[in-house]
Chains A and B, each alone.
Chain A
Amino acid sequence: QSALTQPPSASGSPGQSVTISCTGTSSDVGFYDYVSWYQQHPGKAPKLMIYEVTRRPSGVPDRFSGSKSGNTASLTVSGLQAEDEANYYCSSYAGNNNLLFGGGTKLTVL
């Protein structure tokens, strides 16, 4: 199976909102509500930001929100802050005990 499709880059100014998409198929994102989003700063381990499409782990600011429509999941970051600049990866359960990641999106805070 192919990786999920994310835009390679996204950007926004401080205080603005930005949305990152994650497109899969009817066999993964479109079928299962097991979509997660991870934030990764250069040289660091990934950090779970969203799980089960919309749920936030404790400690993750409510500026981060997730949604899904059809075969596309989205991560929205509201009130952009400088520390939000990072790479973001989506993942989705794809059936048959397989997990797919997206190619990643580099978020730049202008």
Chain B
Amino acid sequence: EELLEESGGGSVQPGGSLRLSCAAAGFTFSDFELNWVRQAPGKGLEWISFINKGGTDVFYADSVKGRFTISRDDAKNSLYLQMNSLKFDDTAVYFCARESALLWTPGYGMDVWGQGTTVTVSS
């Protein structure tokens, strides 16, 4: 079974940092492009970051650009999201999701999702 599992969420004060991880199993991780998508409480989905196969290209939504960094370690079958300068508006469930095919940019269609990890930014 193809799986993604996020970890690293928690409660943090504004201005703080967190590092999310996403562990993959059941497929050849290095062959796929990956995204982070978040969902604020009671709200819709928001794409926030993409990394291509090989990790040479990374893209961000304007809402997180300059504060968040996406990376991957294919040897560990893992995806990461380093989140700095956190704001109240960053409170959300964070999902990692696999692109179903290579497009070299986000948007082909995300066919494997983790269950999400919750980030709460609160003073």
B45 touching A48, Cβ below 8 Å: no
B105 touching A97, Cβ below 8 Å: yes
Q: How many A-B residue pairs have CB under 8 A?
A: 74
Contacting residues, chain B, for A102 (C-beta < 8 A): 44
In the docked arrangement, what's the CA distance between A80 and B44, Å? Answer: 23
Q: Quick one: CB contact mask for A47-58 with B, threshold 8 Å, 1 for yes?
A: 110111000010
Contacting residues, chain B, for A100 (C-beta < 8 A): 47
Contacting residues, chain B, for A44 (C-beta < 8 A): 115
In the docked arrangement, what's the CA distance between A52 and B107, Å? Answer: 9
- Judged by a CB distance under 8 angstroms, whether B111 is at the interface is yes
B114 touching A45, Cβ below 8 Å: yes
In the docked arrangement, what's the CA distance between A48 and B108, Å? Answer: 11
In the docked arrangement, what's the CA distance between A6 and B95, Å? Answer: 22
Q: How many residues of A contact B (CB 8 A)?
A: 27
Contacting residues, chain A, for B37 (C-beta < 8 A): 46, 101
- Judged by a CB distance under 8 angstroms, whether B113 is at the interface is yes
- Judged by a CB distance under 8 angstroms, whether B109 is at the interface is yes
> Which residues of chain B from 78 to 102 have any CB-CB distance to chain A below 8 Å in the complex?
95, 97, 100
In the docked arrangement, what's the CA distance between A92 and B108, Å? Answer: 9
B45 touching A101, Cβ below 8 Å: yes
Give the residue name and chain of the A residue nearest to B110 (CB). Answer: A48
B45 touching A89, Cβ below 8 Å: yes
- Judged by a CB distance under 8 angstroms, whether A38 is at the interface is yes
B107 touching A34, Cβ below 8 Å: yes
Contact A51 to B108, CB < 8 A, known contacts A89-B45, A97-B59, A98-B61: yes
Contact A52 to B109, CB < 8 A, known contacts A97-B59, A99-B50: yes
Q: Which B residues form the contact surface with A (CB < 8 A)?
A: 35, 37, 44-47, 50, 57, 59, 61, 95, 97, 100, 103, 105-111, 113-116
User: Which 7 interchain pairs have the tightest Cβ spacing?
Assistant: A51-B109, A93-B107, A97-B59, A45-B113, A99-B106, A99-B47, A34-B107
Extra A-B contacts (14), CB below 8 Å, given A3-B44, A45-B95, A46-B110: A36-B108, A38-B45, A45-B115, A46-B45, A48-B110, A48-B111, A51-B111, A97-B57, A98-B47, A99-B106, A101-B37, A101-B45, A101-B46, A104-B45
